[in-house]
Amino acid sequence: MGNVRLARLSRINWLAQGPLAPYVDAFKQYLTDRGYAATTFANCVGSVAHFAQWIHRRHRRVQRIDEAAVAEFLNEHLPRCRCAGPVQHDRRGLSAALGHLLVVLRAQGVIAPPAARTTPVDEELRRYDEHMDHVRGLAPKTRGTALRIVRRLLTARFGDWHIDIAAIKPKHVRRFFAQQAKLYSKPATAGAVVSALRGYFRYRASLGDAVHAVIGAVSYPANWQLASLPKTLTAEEVERLVGALGKPGRSLRRADAIVRCALDLGLRRGEIARLSLDDINWRVGTITLRHTKGRREDVLPLPATTGRAIAAYLKLERPKTINRAVFVRHLAPRDQPVGPDLVGKTIRQAYARAGLPYTRAHLLRHTMANRLLAGGSSLKEVADVLRHRSLNTTLIYAKLDSRNLVAVALPWPGSAA
């Protein structure tokens, strides 16, 4: 009897006749719009067919499908699967495909949005994030770093229970900092913990909490910010890097344009990732930065070399997409812009192609500052180009200004004057 039932099930087209049949076309269109390769497309569709067979056997209504149902399918059914016909068994592929399926079903209004479980810590961090955003005007990355650190403190102290700020004593803060400092290799990076904690406790002080004792519980680690020279590429290394551009290869036109943005304009990783087609004025030769670290709009001249690199990428390599970002993903989902991490990875790969032993994308920003000083620019002009809010931030480059340093250098004691 069981064999007869399996034979009957094997003759069913689970995509056309199964419980998910009304939503298969929307799922296929979702994959098509994001540019998934034919093999990935077929695997995703096969994964949905396997899942449809399972929910039919379980008599599960489509409206009750959620993350828990997917976890039950992957954890309980998949290890002992006896579904009829050739079906997908790759757990990673199934998990990805069913994640896309949930997105489609929610977009169609078939299933409810995921239930959001919030704890007192979550609510506290939400309010603190609003304060950092609207009152202090901090950038998203800065806020994210602070929230992660404060979350560790509050979770370690209160777990899922109500937050009682008065219960946090200086010894708790010092113990927490000692534990967190082990995660950082440099004093400057460990200082981010102190900054996050003090910022949070000052926020609580503004609400009327008596937290003055814990604000001063920890001090910034000793760190002489101007003790070393900022690392830059030499003129010869810049030539090697530029000489490695323009090579044929996959996604190399995008890489050339990204490197040019960092080297010629001194843009940060996030600024490059967030560039939009609407930010470039080709007629007057300018580029507008709308999402900067300083949270203001800046208009910069677009160098000819940078413009040519961007134009070559847009004309010859950029995938067709409705997304207005300049730099978009070349792999599915293709309608998404690149992120700062991909920008950093692209620059690291450019270093490797040029035979340079570097990894940091920010090195090109330092290099640009050094080239400006070598060309006769003042520190104020460098600060304007790098878009520093305070001239103090630019002072570290004063040690690279050999032209002016020679003029004020005193003779070494004992040497010929």
- Annotated catalytic sites, by residue? 268, 293, 362, 365, 388, 397
Q: What does the alpha-carbon distance between residue 237 and residue 400 come to, in Å, rounded to a whole number?
A: 17
208 φ/ψ sector (left φ>0, alpha ψ -120 to 50, else beta):
left
138 φ/ψ sector (left φ>0, alpha ψ -120 to 50, else beta):
beta
Distances from the Cα of 305 to the Cα of 39, 326, 382, angstroms: 39, 16, 20
Distant-in-sequence, close-in-space partners of 210: CB < 8 Å, separation ≥ 6: 166
Contact status, residue 329 vs residue 34, Cβ threshold 8 Å: no
Contact status, residue 214 vs residue 200, Cβ threshold 8 Å: no
Question: Within 10 Å of residue 407's Cβ, how many Cβ atoms?
Answer: 8
Half-sphere exposure of 148 (CA within 13 A, CB side): 8
Query: In sequence order, which ranges of 18-139 are alpha helices (DSSP H)?
Result: 21-33, 38-57, 67-72, 91-107, 120-134
The string of DSSP letters for 114-145 reads PP----HHHHHHHHHHHHHHHTS---HHHHHH
Q: Which two tokens stand for residue 326?
A: 């300049």
Q: Which two tokens stand for residue 177?
A: 């900092």
Q: What does the alpha-carbon distance between residue 93 and residue 90 come to, in Å, rounded to a whole number?
A: 5
Helices 187-206, 140-158: inter-axial angle, 10-degree rounding:
80
Q: What are phi and psi of 281, to 5 degrees?
A: -105, 95
Q: What are phi and psi of 39, to 5 degrees?
A: -65, -45
